[in-house]
Chain A
Amino acid sequence: MLTYFQRLGVISLAMLERLGRASVFLMRILQHIPAVLLRFRLLISQIYSVGVLSFSLILLSGLFVGMVLGLQGYYTLSDFGAAESLGVVVAASLVRELGPVVAALLFAGRAGSALTAEIGLMKATEQLSGMEMMAVDPVARIITPRFLSGVISMPLLASVFSAVGIIGGYFIGVGMLGIDEGAYWSQMQAKIDFHEDIMNGLIKSVVFGVVVTWIAVFEGYDAIPTSEGVSLATTRTVVHSAFAILIIDFILTALMFGDI
């Protein structure tokens, strides 16, 4: 029994120590942000690899999630004779929840894992060490542009996800199931509030962008510089990001929409 508590203590201390290192690392990143903003070309190239290359995945996933929402929403709403409200249901679900959350989960799987693997391999092949010896701080030159590009890309990708999802819902609801086109759009326009729904969704996606990219770059930078170490770090990025997204989403939803 004592051994059990001892092990629990060791694990908790190790987790706290790691969280502390990750926080110091984040502070170092934040310090370099003004300098990176001035190196616009560096930032643009990272936005391309982190954001633009995730675009097709987000586009396709958003479309199908919207189509599924259209189908499920229609079957449920038609039971209550409220099928005309499908536009509101699809838009609210996407803008408030599914857009930021699913886009962030996909982003963690596509861009987050790639960031960790890239940075971890750079560490394993001594590229980061080499940079330090060339008097170039890798946190400023490699990590911060990647972090910033993730934070910028995430809300844009989540917005695209929601927009394409709404179109997917339209294809199913209006195109296939015969809901009135005017009802689909006008009810959405009337019920979706810019501050309450769109802004809150956007805030969520910014928070997810910060958290997922922070986890991804830290895991890469902190990876054990072996092939096994990089593989473990990549897995951790996806798992920790998914947990973080879902837990933070609950907290943010409770704060934004709930009366807790």
Chain B
Amino acid sequence: MIKSVLTNNNTLIKIRDVHFSRGSKEIFKGIDMDIQRGKVTAIMGPSGTGKTTLLKLIGGQLKPSRGTVELDGQNIHQLKNKSLYQLRKKMGMLFQSGALLTDISVFDNVAFPLREHTNLPESMIRSLVLMKLHAVGLRGARDLMPSELSGGMARRVALARAIALDPMMIMYDEPFTGQDPISMGVLVQLIRLLNDALGLTSIVVSHDVRETTAIADFVYLVSGGKVVGSGTPEQLAESDSEWAQQFLQGMPDGPVPFHYAAAPYTQDLIGL
């Protein structure tokens, strides 16, 4: 299933045989993935399959019970705290909620990583922040507070903040969820544009099939703790995998059944 990309030297992130459990629930049962430099890679799957958990494993916020995650040749989970924090400066992450700091303005949110990690003069920070905000179309919203932003605007501000330190990669956690068509269109365009213009590597975790496949170079389908399909969007569309077809076409019944596991219907009704 894993394509020839596994042997490609252009791989930024190598995930090998990753297992992860929460309590007694096994979330991943041996995941293998390769994320290519400079590409937009989508990780798709139904809700609750652990897509966000996978991003947290890549970011070193969670530790797998088995397996390795290598970023740029470094095993993330063997790094000391200091090295991990150094590496995180090269990663950007866009959370589903935006995760903006609610007690400071849009401008200060974008300036936050610059002020924390650099000794740049305030005049230069101002220029950089305005450039990042301009890139996401929100230079005019610099003085607003996060509570005054719409959901889509908050994600764009969070995107400006994520690229503030010019990272080498950026992870998007469900960027399209709950967005109106215009905001969705803006985000879809921004993810592709920023990836290409800044030479980033992007990982998009989503279950919005149309939007994600429109911008992804490569897609991994995850279900039941395993990778159940992978390939370019075109390859997946032509795939004869029943699971891939059910997910991509949004069919209510199939390998993922409509009914949650239960006793036979008649038995339940009659009470036998």
Interface string of B49-83 (1 = CB under 8 A from A): 00000001001010000000000000000000000
**What are 17 A-B pairs with beta-carbon distances under 8 A?**
A125-B97, A125-B102, A127-B99, A129-B61, A129-B95, A129-B99, A130-B99, A130-B101, A132-B61, A132-B88, A133-B93, A133-B95, A135-B89, A136-B112, A136-B113, A136-B117, A141-B116
**Distance of A141 Cα from B116 Cα, bound (Å):** 9
Report if B246 contacts A (CB, 8 A): no
Tell me which of B56, B96, B112 contacts A134 (CB under 8 A).
B112
Beyond A132-B59, A134-B113, A134-B116, 13 additional pairs, beta carbon < 8 A: A125-B102, A126-B95, A126-B96, A127-B100, A129-B56, A130-B99, A130-B100, A133-B59, A133-B88, A135-B88, A135-B116, A137-B85, A141-B116
Range of interface residues on chain A?
A: 10 to 19
Chain A residues whose C-beta falls within 8 Å of the C-beta of B100 in the assembled complex: 127, 130
With A125-B102, A127-B100, A127-B101 known as contacts, the answer to whether A136 contacts B95 (CB < 8 A) is: no
Give the CA-CA distance A135 to B102 in the complex, in Å: 19
Q: Are A134 and B61 in contact (CB under 8 A)?
A: no
A197 → chain B, closest Cβ, in Å? 40
Chain B interface bracket (under 10, 10 to 19, 20 to 34, 35 or more): 20 to 34
Residues of A within 8 A of B113 (CB): 134-136
Q: Give the complex CA separation of A150 and B101 in angstroms.
A: 22
Distance of B120 from chain A, by nearest CB (Å): 16
Q: Which residues of A contact B97 (CB under 8 A)?
A: 125-126
Complex CA gap A125/B117 in Å reads 23
Task: Knowing A125-B102, A126-B97 are in contact, say whether A133-B91 is a contact too (CB < 8 A).
Answer: yes
**Which residues 126-161 of A sit at the B interface, judged by CB distance below 8 A?**
126-127, 129-130, 132-137, 141
Q: Cβ of B86 < 8 Å from any Cβ of A?
A: yes
Tell me how far the C-beta of B194 lies from the nearest C-beta in chain A, rounded to whole angstroms: 17
Q: How far is the CA of A127 from the CA of B146 in the complex (A)?
A: 12
Q: Distance (Å) between the CB of A187 and the closest chain B CB?
A: 49
Q: List residues 141-200 of chain B with CB under 8 A from any CB of chain A.
A: 158, 161, 165
Pairwise interchain contact A130-B85, C-beta atoms closer than 8 A: no
Minimum distance in angstroms from A98 CB to a CB of chain B = 34
Q: CA of A1 to CA of B165 in the docked complex: distance in angstroms?
A: 61
* Closest CB in chain B relative to A143 CB, distance in Å: 14
Given A133-B61, A135-B88, A135-B89, A125 contacting B116 (CB threshold 8 A): no
- State whether A130 touches B86 (Cβ < 8 A): no
CA distance A130 to B94 in the complex (A): 8
A136 contacts across to B, CB distance below 8 A: 112-113, 116-117
Q: Kindly list chain A residues whose C-beta atoms are within 8 Å of the C-beta of B93.
A: 130, 133
Kindly state the separation between the CA atoms of A127 and B95 in the bound complex, as whole angstroms. Answer: 9
| Also in contact, A135 and B86, with CB within 8 A (given A126-B95, A129-B99, A130-B93) | yes
Could you tell me the distance in whole angstroms from the C-beta of A94 to the nearest C-beta in chain B? 36
Bound CA–CA A135/B61 (angstroms):
11
Minimum Cβ distance to chain B for residue A121 (Å): 8
The 6 A-B pairs of least Cβ separation, nearest first, read A130-B99, A135-B88, A126-B99, A133-B93, A135-B85, A135-B89
> What residues of chain B lie closer than 8 Å to A133, measured between beta carbons?
59, 61, 88, 91-93, 95
Say how far A56's CB is from chain B's closest CB, in angstroms: 21
Interface centre among A126, A130, A132 (most CB of B within 10 A): A130
Given A136-B113, A136-B116, A141-B116, are A130 and B88 also a contact pair (CB < 8 Å)? no
Give the Cβ gap from B223 to chain A, nearest Cβ, in Å: 25
Please tell me if the beta carbons of A135 and B117 are within 8 angstroms of each other in the complex. Answer: yes
Complex Cα gap A134–B88 (Å):
6
- What distance in Å separates the Cβ of B259 from its nearest Cβ neighbour in chain A? 28
Contact between B116 and A130, CB atoms less than 8 A apart: no
| Closest residue of A by beta carbon distance from B116 | A136
Q: Which residues of A contact B101 (CB under 8 A)?
A: 127, 130
